[in-house]
Amino acid sequence: MKLKPILRRMLGMCPLSWSIFIRSIQLSCVLLLGAVLLLITWNGEMLEHYTLYMTAQALNETAQAVLLIGMLLPAIVEDLQSA
């Protein structure tokens, strides 16, 4: 199975790569929590609270971008350190 080598490589990351990976996951979780809280306060009222909806959508998109960067950057750091 291909999952075992991936997990071994992830657990063998250098401390800098591991820190970037963990912090990006934490930041994405905080952004998604903020988006969920904004959607709860939005309450489906499009005319009165449209800015809350758009802010929640922006937080959702930002969390995805942070997670993508947080997955790519440790791989780049690992490749540069091994070279």
pLDDT at position 9, please? 75
pLDDT at position 1, please? 64
CA dihedral of residues 53, 28, 81, 3 (deg, nearest 10)? -110
User: Which residues of the chain, if any, have pLDDT below 50?
Assistant: none
pTM: 0.81
pLDDT at position 67, please? 94
Round to whole Å and give the CA distance between 38 and 23.
23
